[in-house]
Chains A and B, each alone.
Chain A
Amino acid sequence: MVEELIVLYNVPHELPLGILIATYFYYTGVSAGSFVLSTLAYVFGYEKYKPIGKLAIVMAVIVLILAPLHLILDLAQPQRFVHILYMFNARSMISWGTIMLTAYPLNCVIYGYFMFKENMKMTRIFGLIGIPLAVGVHGYCGFILSLVAIRSLWHTALMPPLFLVSAVVSGVALMILIVITKQRFFTLDKKINVDLIFSLGKILAWTLVLDLFLVGVDLLELTYVYSRTEAYDAAMLLIKGPLAPLFLIGEIFLGGIVPFILLTHPRTSSSIKVVTLASVLVLIGIYAMRVNWVVGGQMTPLS
């Protein structure tokens, strides 16, 4: 079709989900990631990670108390959020998410209680219960996006795994920062457990690679052929459009490639300062990723 075509009249539509939802996804991700880290020692028995178990579970609970506040504030009718607790729609992903969002923090609190009581058997049981809940509480965030069939950027089965991997990435990054802060400022000997930090850094580096891989697969699929499709335009929004700086520089370069090199290059990887810097960059990058995916998915108009 080479004929000229211009729009004489059309109406604009708002972007329904915004920064608050992106922030909410970010917080649940951090929480789920921290929880998984805490189970490394207390469920799977990696003694090396024992020092972070309690910190991680406290973080997971605090962040998960903050997270739903963003959801509630994002509602047009915040005072009606109680409706969601007793009106159940079994076909709605948000309804299931509500159950997850209620059960997961409760389980975290019980798990943490037994952990602080040094009751290893019960800790293990509730840790095992918590893993599917943690996967659920963040996996459903991915499903919320991937089940929207009309938004090309969201409607992919890669979305839940991508969200889960980025959750672990952000959880590990935050945990590194918190462990360093705690051991540097809040312990008697002010000595940082270097071994622990570096092994966390290794986890961070390789989950980061998985994260970048999933993003790459997704974009390759969206852009490979059919340049007239909405999927292509949605992906191009990230690569060339208004979100390009946030995506290419914020998410991929500063939040992905740079921290990976910092964490794996032999000349830089043996410094606590560099690991700290990499973790901060990763946290910023994952936040950029949440914003890119939540906001960017809605930016191609439907009509």
Chain B
Amino acid sequence: MITRRKFVKSAALATVAAATGAVAVLKKIGLANAQPEVGQYYPHIWDRLGNAKYIHPWDIDARLGPDHYKKGARERWAMVIDLRKCVGCHLCELVCREHWDVPEGFWRSWVKAIQKGRPPNAKKYFLPRLCNQCEDPPCVTACPTTASIIRDDGIVVIRYEMCIGCRYCIAVCPYDSRFINPRRKTAEKCDFCQPRVDKGELPVCVEICPVNARIFGDLNDPESDVSKLIRNNPVQVLRPEMGTEPQVYYINPDMDIMGRIKERRGR
């Protein structure tokens, strides 16, 4: 006869056995493997951080103080997009897609375009878009596994092996910069071509731009091109009211194209 004690005992044993078996099976088919599938679509985690250290989300507020970059003696990468020069050729968008093998239907970088007025009295305006590499990024705040992290040179990177794909970072990003890569099945976004930057090269979009509308450089160096441009021109960032302090600056942007575009039909 089965007593209650016997039943509980055997049930517990069966549970343990089943759990062990399940873990073994999952390991066999590679599902319970916490280690990443290195090198299939992306470099290893430490390669992504390069020679930079990362700043824990908890320390971001401390980092926003004036002395941080002096102490760290690091670069602060930033981009200026000079819309007086941009001709809307979409080359940055295309080269980014080619370089990073972005799946169809997703964009790390894209160029918005609008037309104001009715032809022949019409004018086109463009707005190249990419991740804004915020000083206080909502995505890093939101990420439950600290997979999204900000490097001490200001680039917001995703450590793909840690990303569980909860999509919360996509929901909180004010700039629509993020997406789930359907092949890698993690969040992905522009990261200023961070492996290239670590090697001393420019991001591909900056390199390809035929009119030099994109300028990339170090904000901590007062003599760099970005510092000079930001100092000598009225600049604007996207959604400044969010308090994210974006580090992609626009010279001469159009009001209607900067946020959500509302189409207007003229009279």
- Give complex CA distance A252, B186 in Å: 37
Q: A302 interface residue, CB < 8 Å from B?
A: yes
Residues in A whose Cβ lies below 8 Å from that of B171? 16-17, 148, 151, 298
Q: Which residue of A lies closest to B118 (CB)?
A: A4
Q: B117 interface residue, CB < 8 Å from A?
A: yes
Select A149's contact among B31, B105, B138, beta carbons within 8 Å: B138
- Give complex CA distance A61, B172 in Å: 31
Residues 105-155 of B contacting A (Cβ, < 8 Å) = 105, 107, 110-118, 122, 124, 129, 138, 140-147
Interface stretch, picked from A92-100, A122-130, A216-224, A235-243, is A92-100
- Give complex CA distance A65, B117 in Å: 57
Contact A11 B107 (CB under 8 A): yes
Interface stretch, picked from B62-70, B173-181, B191-199, B216-224, is B173-181
Q: A188 interface residue, CB < 8 Å from B?
A: no
Select A83's contact among B145, B173, B260, beta carbons within 8 Å: B145
Contact B242 A94 (CB under 8 A): no
Residues 1-56 of A contacting B (Cβ, < 8 Å) = 1-14, 16-17
Q: Which residue of B lies closest to A302 (CB)?
A: B176
Select A150's contact among B122, B185, B242, beta carbons within 8 Å: B242
Known contacts: A77-B163, A93-B142, A303-B129. The answer to whether A6 contacts B114 by CB under 8 A is yes
Contact B176 A6 (CB under 8 A): no
Contact B144 A5 (CB under 8 A): no
Contact B115 A6 (CB under 8 A): yes
Select A77's contact among B90, B118, B164, B264, beta carbons within 8 Å: B164
- Give complex CA distance A150, B112 in Å: 20
- Give complex CA distance A149, B168 in Å: 13
- Give complex CA distance A1, B263 in Å: 11
What are the interface flags for A69-103 relative to B under an 8 Å C-beta threshold, 1 for contact and 0 otherwise? 00100111101111110011111111100100000
Q: B58 interface residue, CB < 8 Å from A?
A: yes
Q: Which residue of B lies closest to A96 (CB)?
A: B144
Contact B185 A300 (CB under 8 A): no
- Give complex CA distance A230, B263 in Å: 14
Contact B242 A149 (CB under 8 A): yes
Contact B145 A302 (CB under 8 A): no
Give A107 Cβ to nearest chain B Cβ, in Å: 21
Q: A280 interface residue, CB < 8 Å from B?
A: no
Residues in A whose Cβ lies below 8 Å from that of B90? 9
Q: Is the interface of A mostly helix, strand, loop or mixed?
A: loop
Q: B57 interface residue, CB < 8 Å from A?
A: yes
Select B175's contact among A1, A14, A230, A303, beta carbons within 8 Å: A303
Residues in B whose Cβ lies below 8 Å from that of A245? none
Among A6, A87, A151, A298: residue with most chain B CB under 10 A: A6
Contact A11 B110 (CB under 8 A): yes
Q: Which residue of B lies closest to A21 (CB)?
A: B167
Q: A265 interface residue, CB < 8 Å from B?
A: no
Known contacts: A89-B57, A89-B146, A302-B175. The answer to whether A83 contacts B164 by CB under 8 A is yes
Select B174's contact among A3, A83, A300, A302, beta carbons within 8 Å: A302
Q: B4 interface residue, CB < 8 Å from A?
A: no
- Give complex CA distance A302, B177 in Å: 10
Contact A5 B175 (CB under 8 A): no
Q: B165 interface residue, CB < 8 Å from A?
A: yes
Select A87's contact among B162, B167, B175, B264, beta carbons within 8 Å: B162
Among A3, A6, A298, A303: residue with most chain B CB under 10 A: A303
Give B163 Cβ to nearest chain A Cβ, in Å: 7
Contact B31 A79 (CB under 8 A): yes
Q: A228 interface residue, CB < 8 Å from B?
A: yes
Give A99 Cβ to nearest chain B Cβ, in Å: 11
Known contacts: A13-B179, A94-B144, A150-B172. The answer to whether A3 contacts B117 by CB under 8 A is yes
Contact B144 A92 (CB under 8 A): yes
Contact A76 B116 (CB under 8 A): no
Give A159 Cβ to nearest chain B Cβ, in Å: 14
Known contacts: A5-B115, A80-B164. The answer to whether A13 contacts B176 by CB under 8 A is yes
Residues in B whose Cβ lies below 8 Å from that of A1? 256, 264
- Given A14-B170, A150-B172, A303-B259; 16 other pairs, CB 8 A cutoff: A5-B256, A5-B261, A7-B113, A10-B113, A13-B176, A17-B167, A74-B167, A76-B186, A77-B185, A83-B162, A89-B141, A89-B146, A98-B144, A150-B173, A150-B242, A301-B176
* Between-chain CB contacts (< 8 Å), 13 pairs: A7-B112, A9-B111, A12-B105, A17-B167, A76-B187, A79-B31, A87-B145, A90-B57, A148-B142, A150-B173, A150-B242, A302-B174, A302-B175
Q: Which 10 A-B pairs have the closest CB atoms?
A: A76-B165, A4-B266, A94-B144, A16-B167, A16-B170, A8-B113, A150-B174, A9-B113, A87-B145, A5-B264
Residues on B facing A (Cβ under 8 Å): 26, 31-34, 57-58, 60, 90, 105, 107, 110-118, 122, 124, 129, 138, 140-147, 162-168, 170-176, 179-180, 185-187, 239, 242, 256, 259-267
